[in-house]
């Protein structure tokens, strides 16, 4: 049985169809994994297409390729060969190492500087990260930036994984296939219902052998130890009367003078080449990042020392819940990718 707070299933994977285009209503989701078992599992539910994420970054009207690769190095420094690029990065890294006195990077800023040097940090990372997280780069954990590859080849594929794509027909196909034959109740808030003895869901905690809880960790315990911080995003979604608005699914805006973090043009997740023009309109979403307040949707855990310690304290309580497994970004307070969750579930011993 699935109990879902929202009026629809699928959590943040949910897509809404507008003008024949699947809109990633809660932000872009690109499935990528190197685990063949995970890839085969999701593809057995719905075949995935060949979408490859190659985001661009717009900084003061100039476009750069991401992740950091030979194209980016050429665009920023004009270097033509990997040796030249490596030399340039190493020069900048050496300065940083000197400043750090060869100690390990202690925050996102230091980690980014060690990874790509100051020029790329200033152009593509600093202000984007501050917009995205609402905090200075020196106040954020180094781990966030370790997600991004640095390559000395001309390769704009954002991910290093073996397999990548988006379900053909959109993510709702995956959700519906996964939940086929399952009793699903939408518009029911488990946290509220478990308090009301008159509710048919009141007995859930006691009567079900196992519950998998995927809501926010602190909410489950009614914030008894304090509130975890989250980042949330909001979307300004517009239908535009042109078949091809930005020529790419994802364009990041990496400077402070643009208030949103990125523009998603949804059709590019599923329509490639000339097929883009088969659909006369397009739908874009400008993505704004803000601090979470009550009543908003939590999206990103903010895994700094304070929050991690609080989450660990909640996890001690969670371990004592006899029949409840806590899983996912919200319930584990971890910046998970989708494949890692599928992998975890495939390996879990539910009994």
Q: Where are the alpha helices (DSSP H) in 53-162?
A: 70-77, 82-100, 108-120, 126-133, 143-146
Residue 330 touches ligand UDP, criterion: CB under 6 A: no
List the catalytic residue out of 4, 287, 332, 339: 287
Backbone phi, then psi, for 71, in 5-degree steps? -60, -45
Residue 147 touches ligand UDP, criterion: CB under 6 A: yes
Contact 21, 283 (CB under 8 A): yes
Residue 135 among the catalytic residues: no
Instruction: Please select the residue that binds ligand UDP; options are 3, 21, 57, 310, rule is CB under 6 A.
Output: 57
Distance CA 289, CA 230 (A): 11
- Measuring CA to CA, which residue among 109, 131, 130 is closest to residue 120? 109
Residue 337 among the catalytic residues: yes
Residue 4 among the catalytic residues: no
Q: Which is nearer to ligand UDP, 252 or 282 (CB)?
A: 252
Interface size with ligand UDP, residues (CB under 6 A): 13
> How would DSSP label each residue in 229-298?
PEEEEEEEEEEESSS-SSSSSEEEE-STTSSSSEEEEGGGGT--GGGGGGSS-EEEEEEEEEE--TTSPP
Interaction pattern, residues 12-51, with ligand UDP; x per rule: CB under 6 A:
----------------------------------------
Residue 148 touches ligand UDP, criterion: CB under 6 A: yes
Q: Which stretch binds ligand UDP (CB under 6 A): 78-86, 90-98, 127-135, 317-325?
A: 127-135
Distance CA 207, CA 267 (A): 45
Which of helix, strand or coil describes residue 29? coil
In what helix (H) or strand (E) does residue 313 lie, and over which residues does it extend?
helix 305-320
Q: What is the CA radius of gyration of the chain?
A: 22
Angle at 121 between CA 116 and CA 124, to 5 degrees: 110
List the catalytic residue out of 87, 90, 95, 147: 147
Rounded to the nearest whole angstrom, what is the least distance from the CB of residue 322 to ligand UDP in the complex?
34
- The conformation of residue 299, written as its DSSP 8-state character, comes to -
- How many other β-carbons are positioned within 10 Å of the β-carbon of residue 295? 5
List the catalytic residue out of 93, 335, 336, 343: 335
Residue 231 among the catalytic residues: yes
Residue 220 among the catalytic residues: no
Instruction: Please select the residue that binds ligand UDP; options are 26, 31, 73, 128, rule is CB under 6 A.
Output: 128
Q: Which stretch binds ligand UDP (CB under 6 A): 70-78, 122-130, 278-286, 315-323?
A: 122-130
Residue 262 among the catalytic residues: yes
Q: Which stretch binds ligand UDP (CB under 6 A): 74-82, 123-131, 194-202, 211-219?
A: 123-131
Q: Which stretch binds ligand UDP (CB under 6 A): 99-107, 142-150, 186-194, 205-213?
A: 142-150
Which of helix, strand or coil describes residue 215? coil
Instruction: Please select the residue that binds ligand UDP; options are 38, 145, 216, 310, rule is CB under 6 A.
Output: 145
Binding footprint of ligand UDP on the chain (CB under 6 A): 57, 66, 124-125, 128-129, 132, 144-145, 147-148, 252, 254
Active site residues: 147, 151, 231, 262, 287, 335, 337
């Amino acid at each position: 049985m699935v109990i879902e707070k929202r009026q629809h299933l699928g959590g943040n994977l949910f897509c809404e169809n507008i003008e024949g285009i699947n809109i990633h209503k809660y932000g872009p989701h690109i499935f990528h994994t190197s685990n063949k078992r995970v890839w085969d599992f999701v593809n057995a539910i719905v075949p995935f297409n060949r979408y490859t994420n190659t985001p661009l970054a717009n900084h003061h009207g100039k476009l750069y390729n991401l992740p950091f690769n030979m194209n980016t190095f050429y665009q920023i420094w004009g270097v033509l060969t990997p040796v030249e690029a490596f030399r340039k990065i190493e020069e900048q890294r050496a300065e940083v190492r000197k400043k750090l006195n060869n100690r390990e990077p202690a925050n996102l800023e230091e980690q980014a500087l060690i990874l790509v040097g100051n020029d790329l940090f200033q152009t593509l990372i600093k202000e984007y990260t501050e917009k995205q997280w609402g905090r200075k780069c020196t106040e954020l954990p180094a781990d966030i930036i370790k997600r991004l590859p640095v390559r000395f080849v001309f390769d704009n594929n954002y991910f290093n994984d073996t397999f990548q794509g988006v379900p053909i027909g959109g993510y709702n196909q995956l959700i519906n296939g996964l939940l086929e034959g399952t009793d699903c109740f939408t518009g029911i808030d488990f946290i509220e219902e478990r308090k009301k003895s008159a509710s048919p869901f009141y007995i859930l905690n006691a009567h079900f052998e196992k519950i998998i809880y995927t809501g926010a960790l602190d909410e489950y315990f009614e914030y008894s130890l304090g509130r975890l911080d989250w980042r949330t995003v909001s979307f300004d979604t517009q239908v535009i009367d042109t078949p091809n608005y930005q020529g790419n699914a994802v364009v990041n805006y990496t400077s402070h003078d643009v208030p949103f973090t990125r523009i998603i043009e949804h059709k590019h997740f599923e329509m490639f080449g000339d097929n883009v023009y088969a659909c006369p309109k397009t739908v874009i979403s400008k993505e704004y990042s803000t601090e979470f307040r009550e009543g908003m949707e939590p999206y990103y855990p903010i895994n700094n020392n304070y929050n991690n310690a609080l989450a660990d304290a909640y996890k001690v309580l969670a371990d004592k819940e006899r029949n409840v497994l806590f899983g996912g970004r919200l319930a584990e307070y971890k910046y998970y990718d989708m494949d890692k969750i599928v992998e975890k579930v495939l390996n879990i011993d539910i009994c």
